[in-house]
Amino acid sequence: MVDRLKGKTAVVFGAGSSGQGWGNGRAAAVLYAREGAQVACIDLSKQAARETADIIVGEGGNAIALFADVTELASIERAVRQIREAFGPISVLHNNVGMTHMGGPVELEESCFAQAVDVNLGSVYRTAKAVIPQMLEAGGGAIINISSLAAIRWAGYPYFAYYATKAAVNQATSAIAIQYASQGIRANCIMPGMVDTPMIYTQISSQYASSEEMVEARNRALPGGKMGDAWDVAYAALFLASDEAKFINGICLPVDGGQSVTMAVPR
């Protein structure tokens, strides 16, 4: 490690994991800490956030675990105040919260569509609203939003709300990037493709006869024949958060093993 984030404070919303193993948020939080950042691990589940923070502290890093509901601005603002008291101004904002509801516009309940908008897109709005003033005061910062390849491609699943909200995250990221570029804030997003994380077993596996069938189908859809993992996404996030990416702003980066340049979907 080369301490790419030494002296910086990173906050990861969605830093827990939705099951056993490494989710994208947990891997990013741990990697940020390994590269020298103080990390605020935030999740709707305080226990999940604590598990991530414990990993960081166990490795000799500095981390705190906090609860926040990304659908409530007051909850986010309370967490941001706690981070400032513990670590000072936030340098890196990482948004990892997301959810899926299966169904096209005909099948999807309006309440489910509204929830997807509130969580997937609303989280980007609310966290930016709470954190950007600190970044402006400190002279800059980096924002990384986790979108999805589904923002620009049919992913093989009938989840209309997910497609729509992740596409909106891409454009929201671009809007933030350009508005605040002259004030030292960069905003980029990552579009993971087929990655093997705990979330797919809870939110995607219902589309298959078994989890084994799901894994086989997703592997087959990739040029290299194997899904990526949370660390592939985390290393991309680390680069975008670091000063090495100081001239990169407003991009939507596929981390997908080349899937976005093919026409393959899992079958």
Q: Catalytic residues, which ones?
A: 162
Distances (CA, A) of 183 to 18, 120, 136, 245, 246: 36, 26, 7, 16, 13
Q: How many C-beta atoms lie closer than 10 Å to residue 216's C-beta?
A: 13
Cα 261 to Cα 223: distance, rounded to the nearest angstrom: 10
Contact at 8 Å (CB) between 169 and 145?
yes
Distances (CA, A) of 164 to 14, 83, 87: 20, 32, 36
Q: How many C-beta atoms lie closer than 10 Å to residue 218's C-beta?
A: 23
Contact at 8 Å (CB) between 189 and 170?
yes
